[in-house]
């Protein structure tokens, strides 16, 4: 067997396995701690972890655990170790072996564009699913123009998609000052000559120019009068702002997810913001139409993906089955959101400082800062 027979699987190809429930067996050769913290998951994906250094003397340990009649993907952090192990498995007689191109580094950065639905007077809403991190961003398209909401730092992917659609990005917006990933909104706006919008109350320490988002502010996209209306919904941050699109879609940022609710502690103000969080969820959202399609900025589990990989649900459905929206006792709610908190995101304070413009990490440093899953949600255990 030759080296060329170790076939690369791209992040895009891997995404299709997850979105369309195709069977895949993964051998992850990173160290155990990294695997336990963050791994590739899917409803028909089985994975095991055998660290690379445990396989240097031979792959017999792996052979005993790998099915011979299934597609097998070897995964490591940056690709090199997985190529070596994939070649060893092929030499040992296994077939259908591939390695993840670019490793978990590339997987973390891949965005899968999914069409969410149409707009009333023409145009559409697209969701960019960052499967490797559980992040969601959006492009609203109408009349040859586009707005991008909660953009990731991988700005080229939005520009390429806009080119494919034949639209010009006129606005970029963040629902809040992010702490789990580096925003691409400001950079994307600079690159394409668009206007960058940020909630004013989250921008008190930023070092750059922006347009302030205030409650009730409306923006028109294209010549079909698609309105994006800002709805002030504090609690995850003091400035958190949701968007109502075309009176049909509700982009909730990190306040409300399909299975959970946002955490109020990433600026160290959980006790102060718990009341804001409850008011946003139980008052402001409760006054909106139950037919609005909720489009959050994150998902916490791969089984939240619906048809075609999109993450969405009606607001009324969430009020019926999302535990975070069904705590009548305010004391119980406050205890949940201030005490029952998950581990904080990797390098979250450095990410906040970067999103304020106070830090300017290199591209490689930005990748390292973002490694691991998002941890913006609170789940009622």
Tell me, yes or no, whether 101 and 133 share the same domain. no
- Would you call 376 a catalytic residue per the annotation? no
216 or 380, higher pLDDT: 216
User: Which of 62, 85, 106 is the endpoint of a domain?
Assistant: 106
Total domain count, the chain: 2
Tell me, yes or no, whether 95 and 115 share the same domain. no
pLDDT tens across 311-321, in order?
A: 999 999 999 99
Mean pLDDT of the region 269-296: 91
| pLDDT band, very low/low/confident/very high, at 262 (cuts 50, 70, 90) | confident
Q: What CATH number does residue 97 fall under?
A: 3.40.250.10
Tell me, yes or no, whether 118 and 95 share the same domain. no
Q: What CATH number does residue 198 fall under?
A: 3.60.15.10
Tell me, yes or no, whether 266 and 185 share the same domain. yes
User: Which of 41, 74, 106 is the endpoint of a domain?
Assistant: 106
Q: Residue 129: what pLDDT?
A: 97
User: Which of 106, 126, 147 is the endpoint of a domain?
Assistant: 106
pLDDT of residue 3 exceeding 80? no
Tell me, yes or no, whether 93 and 120 share the same domain. no
pTM of the model: 0.93
pLDDT tens across 18-60, in order?
A: 999 999 999 999 999 999 999 999 999 999 999 999 999 999 9
Tell me, yes or no, whether 203 and 80 share the same domain. no
> Can you name the residues that pair with 7 across neighbouring β-strands?
98
Range of the domain at 232: 111-378
> Can you name the residues that pair with 145 across neighbouring β-strands?
142, 168
Tell me, yes or no, whether 135 and 161 share the same domain. yes
Q: Which of 24, 76, 182, 261 is catalytic?
A: 76
Tell me, yes or no, whether 18 and 51 share the same domain. yes
Tell me, yes or no, whether 100 and 115 share the same domain. no
């Amino acid at each position: 067997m030759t080296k060329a027979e170790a076939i690369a699987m791209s992040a895009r190809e891997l995404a299709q396995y997850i979105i369309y429930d195709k069977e895949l067996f993964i051998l992850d050769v990173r160290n155990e701690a990294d695997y336990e913290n963050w791994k590739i998951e899917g409803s028909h994906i089985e994975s095991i972890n055998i660290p690379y250094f445990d396989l240097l003397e031979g792959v017999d340990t792996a052979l005993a655990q790998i099915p011979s009649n299934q597609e097998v993907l070897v995964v490591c952090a940056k690709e090199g170790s997985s190529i070596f192990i994939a070649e060893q498995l092929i030499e040992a007689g296994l077939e259908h072996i591939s390695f993840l191109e670019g490793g978990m580094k590339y997987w973390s950065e891949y965005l899968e564009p999914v069409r969410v639905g149409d707009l009333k007077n023409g145009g559409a809403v697209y969701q960019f699913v960052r499967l490797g991190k559980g992040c969601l961003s959006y492009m609203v398209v109408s009349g040859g123009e586009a707005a991008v909401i909660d953009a990731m730092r991988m700005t080229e992917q939005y520009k390429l998609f806009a080119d494919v659609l034949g639209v010009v990005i006129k606005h970029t917006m963040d629902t809040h000052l992010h702490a789990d990933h580096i925003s691409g909104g400001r950079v994307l706006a600079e690159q394409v000559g668009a206007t960058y919008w940020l909630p004013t109350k989250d921008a008190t320490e930023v070092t750059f120019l922006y347009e302030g988002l205030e409650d009730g502010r409306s923006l028109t996209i294209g010549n079909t009068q698609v309105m994006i209306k800002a709805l002030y919904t504090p609690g995850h941050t003091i400035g958190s702002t949701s968007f109502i699109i075309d009176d049909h879609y509700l982009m909730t940022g990190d306040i409300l997810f399909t299975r959970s609710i946002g955490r109020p502690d990433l600026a160290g103000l959980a006790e102060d913001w718990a009341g804001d969080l409850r008011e946003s969820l139980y008052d402001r959202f409760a006054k909106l139409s139950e037919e609005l399609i909720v489009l959050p900025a994150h998902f916490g589990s791969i089984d939240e993906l619906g048809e075609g990989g999109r993450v969405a649900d009606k607001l009324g459905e969430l009020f019926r089955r999302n535990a975070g929206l069904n705590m009548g006792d305010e004391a119980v709610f406050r205890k949940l959101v201030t005490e029952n908190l998950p581990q904080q995101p990797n390098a979250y304070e450095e990410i906040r400082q970067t999103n304020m413009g106070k830090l300017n990490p290199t591209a490689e440093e930005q990748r390292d800062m973002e490694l691991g899953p998002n941890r913006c949600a609170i789940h009622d255990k």
